[in-house]
Amino acid sequence: MADGGLATFASAFMVGPAAGAPLLALGPAGWMIAIGLALTLAGAALVWWLDDTPVEEWLKLGPFGQDQPGILFDTVRPAHLLDEQEAFYRLVGLFAGIHIQIEANPEQAKARNSHPIPGQEARYHAMREANVRIQIASNLPGLISSLGTSQMRIGVWQRLHRSAPSPRGDRMVETVELLPGQNFYLDTSLSADKQKPKPTYLVHQEQTPAGLDLYLRQPPTPAAQRGGTSVTLYRYSWAVRAQVIADNGKQQWHFPAPPPTDPLRFNAGLHGKPNYTATQQAFWADEESN
């Protein structure tokens, strides 16, 4: 009963933005009643016996939970989850579904074997030129309407990987370099005149219902270098960082949000800029973790 009821509650978010939007659109005041009803239908007494998934942690430790006495120590709910606004933000974060995908541009072959549609000549030529597509998408556009308008911050940096034999020659060792000057940063909250000039290799960008698509022109991979019996191999990759921001004019919410039990709050000095040399940076999605 609890498992089925909880799954029904969660499915309202996980099937997609459109389905989750009506519940979250109730805002922090209305979702208290809605989720309370869902817990009643689920059989709240049995929820405590389920495994601790992030949603179940939120249910146990948030506004609908209660402090639990223990044999050795009591389980005290964290203060940040007792704050209605913060708890709502963490709940939305669990269903944000931020996803970054890097792939060969599927539109390139189509463009090279067709003719431009009148009025879409610029896009046609961009698709012929771009050989890489980066898609940043999430469930958030349909979920955070009650939190305010949404904006995105996106950072992209091209990397060069070198694989060469170790000094002993018994294995290949890979080094990674962020290529100087091969990076750009987009902030959709800024007007066009305040944006930094876009690099020439960013040939096209498109806003989608779920986020943003970037089309890039990646140079040919450097040829392998041979020296005696050894060989050095090269390949390119892209470090991508993305942050979605909901702004109601009074407060900003930054996604991805920390896990429910993490008391971390956003600090512009610590979390306002992307780190391209590490993954799983707080409040930033990346191409490996997302």
| φ, ψ dihedrals at 61, nearest 5° | -105, -10
pLDDT of residue 195: 76
Residue 51 contacts residue 171 (beta carbons within 8 Å): no
* 145 and 58 within one domain: no
* 116 and 129 within one domain: yes
pLDDT of residue 208: 93
* 263 and 207 within one domain: yes
Lowest-confidence segment of 5-9, 121-125, 214-218, 234-238 by average pLDDT? 5-9
Measured at the CA of 23, the angle between CA 19 and CA 28, to 5 degrees, comes to 150
Mean pLDDT calculated for residue range 137-147: 77
* 87 and 125 within one domain: no
pLDDT of residue 2: 38
Residue 169: CB atoms within 10 A of its CB come to 9
Positive or negative torsion for Cα 167, 168, 172, 174: negative
| pLDDT level of residue 67 (50, 70, 90 thresholds) | low
Q: Which of 40, 75, 94 is the last residue in one of the domains?
A: 94
The model's pLDDT over 235-246, given as tens digits with 9 standing for 90+, comes to 999 999 999 998
* 270 and 142 within one domain: yes
* 149 and 84 within one domain: no
* 84 and 42 within one domain: yes
* 208 and 275 within one domain: yes
* 147 and 103 within one domain: yes
Residue listed under structure tokens 């999430």: 138
| Pairing assessment for the beta strands 99-104 and 225-227 based on DSSP bridges | unpaired
Is 70 exceeded by the pLDDT of residue 262?
Answer: yes
* 146 and 51 within one domain: no
| pLDDT level of residue 227 (50, 70, 90 thresholds) | confident
138 versus 228: the higher-pLDDT residue is 138
Question: Is this structure's pTM higher than 0.85?
Answer: no
* Domain span including residue 21: 2-94
* 136 and 189 within one domain: yes
pLDDT of residue 274: 96
Q: Which of 69, 94, 119 is the last residue in one of the domains?
A: 94
Q: Which of 94, 112, 147 is the last residue in one of the domains?
A: 94
The model's pLDDT over 18-66, given as tens digits with 9 standing for 90+, comes to 444 444 555 555 555 455 445 444 444 444 444 558 888 888 887 777 7
* 259 and 138 within one domain: yes
What is the number of domains present in the chain? 2
